[in-house]
Structure 1
Amino acid sequence: MSVTSRYKEAWEGFWQEAPDRVGAVLWDAEPALTAGIHLALFEPHLSETALPVVDLGCGNGTQTLFLADRFPRVTGLDLAPAAIARARRSDPDGQVRFTVADATEPAAVRRLHRELGDAQVYLRSVLHQCEPEDRRLVAAAVATLVGERGRAFVVEPAADAGRILRELARHPDGPPPKLRAVLTHGIGPAVMPDAQVPELFLAAGLDVLASGDMPLTTTEYLVDGTRVELPSQWLVVGRTG
């Protein structure tokens, strides 16, 4: 089973049409405000820092390249070829192995695990954008990739983030440009109860080692110049026994 063709086509269309410049995409915030903050929460739980790192749902690779400056082996995966093409263009020195892959295809995930061995996984704002029936498969992919020794850092917008985005979308002048670009392709935050996030990983056989709440920074601004931040929850998951 794999994600629906509609879902793949939506993401491919989005990345083909999105402006190819830093910060042009809603969630493409600078790493100092995203992966850098997440890494500070993640690193204390990494007992084996030499393991490879997988950025699952890497998009255009902004956060992946940040991780590659801090870990020796980093792989970025995304199901949209257009996203991977952009990521490769932003990495002329080939620091990262960028690969087109569908995390809901168990055979492909197992093959990657055989190549890499146990890995640390970074999963940012992926589950809420998945079709509901595919979230279990993505969590299972994370469990496969971390194996026995790896850990995963997962951050997802909280359910209340959907309310904020819906309010922005209903503005009398229309949605802000970057949100409009996402909605135009039929991509939007699905309703996912906050409790579902840890439940997905527990069902996949992983333990929740740490968790918390934090703002998730976007690249969009309100008319008064305030940057849009979305409430989010984060987890560190892995096997402990």
Structure 2
Amino acid sequence: MPPTERYRTAWDGYWEASSGAPGEPFWDADPALTAARDLTLLTPHADPALPIVDLGCGNGTQTRYLATRFARAVGVDLSHAAVAHARRSDPAGSAAYEQLDLSDPEGARALHARLGDTNAYMRAVLHQSDPADRPGVVATLATLLGTRGRALVLEPTGEAKTVIRSVAERPGGPSAKLRSVFTHDLRPGEVAEGEIAALLRGAGLDIADEGALTLAMSETHADGTPVALPARWYLAAPTAPAP
């Protein structure tokens, strides 16, 4: 089975077994802890009149928040089941949701043709893609930005595995949220240090800024605080043409 089909099958299985409720997935933290904070890194550089695309939107929790800050928000996901959940969770239609294979250049070009240049939000997507597919995912990001868009890319670092392992090994074993990840064979890979920067530059994007932060999960520790994964963020912009 080709890699994309393997993880499409895995993600559809996961989302089909899910209710789609906000907070049910291990990573699906409240937007107050995620997109709201993250946009403080993006909005100083981005034109709010442009649409924003949430790449790997899942059930649309973050997409719905993005729709309150940009002229238009579109969530895209590899999984048809995820997109169906996102649409059901947004009866007011504050955002739009579409199925998109991020490694498919034709799909990316078609979406850009409909939306024009966009901003983009991509939270913890690349490590879920096989290494061979990552250049294609970042190429889609570049296609969507066009010449005017800006992107915020956030990815866990290698240290995140240690945090997840500690959660899995708590007394009583993994929580239901984490067991569901294991059951459906969602394989979080590791993005090597420097790989994201190289991928962005290889797709014709400049890194306008970057830094370290943590990604809040919906999973909590025994004291009720959110599990947080060490991560890095990148503010990407199309490379300006040479004068």
TM-score, scaled to structure 1: 0.95
- 2:43 is paired with a residue whose SS is helix
The worse-fitting range, judged by mean Cα deviation, of 77-86 and 176-185 is 176-185
Contact 2:20 2:59 in 1 (8 A): no
Question: Which residue number in structure 2 is paired with residue 169 of structure 1?
Answer: 168
Contact 2:54 2:74 in 1 (8 A): yes
- 1:190 is paired with a residue whose SS is coil
Contact 2:209 2:236 in 1 (8 A): yes
Pairwise CA distance, 1:220: 0.8
1:230, 1:74 → 2: CA distance?
A: 26
Question: Which residue number in structure 2 is paired with residue 103 of structure 1?
Answer: 102
2:222, 2:31 → 1: CA distance?
A: 24
Question: Which residue number in structure 2 is paired with residue 14 of structure 1?
Answer: 14
1:192, 1:167 → 2: CA distance?
A: 20
Contact 2:204 2:239 in 1 (8 A): no
- 2:218 is paired with a residue whose SS is strand
Name the amino acid aligned to 1:137.
G
Q: Does 1:191 pair with 2:190?
A: yes
Pairwise CA distance, 1:137: 0.7
**1:49-60 alignment, distance < 5 Å:** 49-60=48-59
- 2:193 is paired with a residue whose SS is coil
% same residue: 46
Question: Which residue number in structure 2 is paired with residue 30 of structure 1?
Answer: 30
Contact 1:124 1:154 in 2 (8 A): yes
Pairwise CA distance, 1:69: 1.2
Pairwise CA distance, 1:3: 4.9
Gaps of 5+ in 1: none
Question: Which residue number in structure 2 is paired with residue 145 of structure 1?
Answer: 144
1:217, 1:140 → 2: CA distance?
A: 27
Contact 2:48 2:71 in 1 (8 A): no
Q: CA RMSD in A?
A: 1.4
Question: Which residue number in structure 1 is paired with residue 218 of structure 2?
Answer: 219
How many pairs were matched up? 239
Pairwise CA distance, 1:144: 0.6
2:173, 2:166 → 1: CA distance?
A: 10
- 1:178 is paired with a residue whose SS is helix
TM-score, scaled to structure 2: 0.94
Contact 2:147 2:238 in 1 (8 A): yes
2:21, 2:96 → 1: CA distance?
A: 21
Name the amino acid aligned to 1:69.
T
Pairwise CA distance, 1:234: 0.4
Gaps of 5+ in 2: none
Contact 2:157 2:190 in 1 (8 A): no
